Amino acid sequence: MAEAHTKNHDYHIIDPSPWPFIGSIGALLMAIGGIVWMQSLKVEGASTLGMSGPWVFTIGLLIVLYVMYGWWADTVKEAHAGDHTQVVSLHLRYGMIMFIASEVMFFVAWFWAFFDASLYPGEAIQFARTEHTGGQWPPANISVLDPLHLPLFNTVTLLLSGTTVTWAHHSLLEGDRKGLIWGLVLTVVLGLIFTAVQALEYAQAPFAFKDSIYGATFFMATGFHGFHVLVGTIFLVVCLVRAMMGHFTAKQHFGFEAAAWYWHFVDVVWLFLFFAVYIWASQGGTIAH
């Protein structure tokens, strides 16, 4: 009887899980709360069915974060149980590749908006109906950030973090757990430095999000990248904790590999942002010192 239930294939049949259902509830609460919250910001004192937008959104966010923790914890347990065979691991890699591809298209949208506004500034500025007039980019009366100051520092920082995460990966493949841990520690520190410097840059920016189409496209593109750096840093912190617990081996370390791929993706996107948004788009503008 037991032989009839013995698994004779390389695929993993997932046990019934509550996480998709609970996650959908959290996502629905986030959507409803976000809509109500934005409506209350648009019309002071407005509410929908007596709901408080920030509270509903926060509850939904907490549920989603809990689901993320529980779902990924189950995935880690499945890996330790031997369920992640070569076929399953290959499919996990395919999934991560598709996710990164979707992220690429996400940033393509922001680059598209930025280049559309910068290559056709007359139409973009007129459509925005701001006080900045004229068919030039950056718009008249806009002072831009010095690309060779904090942006260059952050570029070097992020490139260094790419080398440290690669060092950690090679250390893992060679069985050097000490090198793996120190490589991850340095990568996390560099990621935190990048985030802190970008926050300082935003605080010193001579333009605001609502001032012009330049500010809107700048903050949307760089801000979403900064959010991805923060997510990647959390991803690497989890990998660091797992590495210290001895979870990864040279043959089975998809969790770390996915984090490294994501981090290199963040590096590449920043290089495009640095050369397009900071250097190319600042030509002819007044540099704010």
Out of 34, 64, 83, pick the residue that ends a domain: 83
Query: Is a pLDDT exceeding 70 seen at residue 83?
Result: yes
The residue among 210, 202, 208 whose CA lies nearest residue 227 is 202
Tell me, yes or no, whether 255 and 157 share the same domain.
yes
Please state, in angstroms and rounded to a whole number, the distance separating the CA atoms of residues 203 and 177.
39
Collapsing DSSP to helix, strand or coil, 145 comes out as: strand
Out of 55, 83, 111, pick the residue that ends a domain: 83
pLDDT of the residue at 215: 87
Please state which of the ranges 132-146, 222-236, 250-264 shows the lowest mean pLDDT.
132-146
Tell me, yes or no, whether 119 and 188 share the same domain.
yes
Average pLDDT, the chain: 86
Residue 276 per-residue DSSP state: I
Tell me, yes or no, whether 90 and 70 share the same domain.
no
pLDDT of the residue at 274: 95
pLDDT of the residue at 5: 52
User: In the numeric block, which tokens belong to residue 52?
Assistant: 């408080």
pLDDT of the residue at 125: 56
Average pLDDT over residues 156-171: 95
Tell me, yes or no, whether 126 and 206 share the same domain.
yes
Please state, in angstroms and rounded to a whole number, the distance separating the CA atoms of residues 50 and 111.
39
Give the CATH number for residue 28.
1.10.287.70
Tell me, yes or no, whether 178 and 91 share the same domain.
yes
163 vs 288, residue with greater confidence: 163
- What domain range includes position 172? 84-288
Tell me, yes or no, whether 45 and 148 share the same domain.
no
Tell me, yes or no, whether 152 and 213 share the same domain.
yes
Please state which of the ranges 5-9, 20-24, 119-123 shows the lowest mean pLDDT.
5-9
Give the CATH number for residue 111.
1.20.120.80
Out of 61, 83, 105, pick the residue that ends a domain: 83
Tell me, yes or no, whether 56 and 99 share the same domain.
no
Tell me, yes or no, whether 103 and 169 share the same domain.
yes
pLDDT of the residue at 49: 55
Percent of the chain at pLDDT > 70 equals 88
121 vs 226, residue with greater confidence: 226
Residue-by-residue DSSP string for 58-76? HHHHHHHHHHHHHHHHHHH
Q: How confident is the model at residue 46 (pLDDT cuts 50, 70, 90)?
A: low
Tell me, yes or no, whether 169 and 250 share the same domain.
yes
Please state, in angstroms and rounded to a whole number, the distance separating the CA atoms of residues 198 and 66.
28
pLDDT of the residue at 161: 96
Tell me, yes or no, whether 21 and 118 share the same domain.
no
pLDDT of the residue at 122: 65
For 176-213, write each residue's pLDDT tens digit. Answer: 999 999 999 999 999 999 999 999 999 988 888 877 88
pLDDT of the residue at 133: 47
For 95-141, write each residue's pLDDT tens digit. Answer: 999 999 999 999 999 999 899 888 877 655 554 454 444 567 887 77
Tell me, yes or no, whether 90 and 60 share the same domain.
no
Average pLDDT over residues 49-60: 81
pLDDT of the residue at 87: 85
User: In the numeric block, which tokens belong to residue 184?
Assistant: 């991850």
Query: Is a pLDDT exceeding 60 seen at residue 85?
Result: yes
Q: How many domains does the chain have?
A: 2
127 vs 76, residue with greater confidence: 76
For 233-257, write each residue's pLDDT tens digit. Answer: 999 999 999 999 988 888 888 899 9
User: In the numeric block, which tokens belong to residue 57?
Assistant: 């959104």
CB 284 within 8 A of CB 144: no
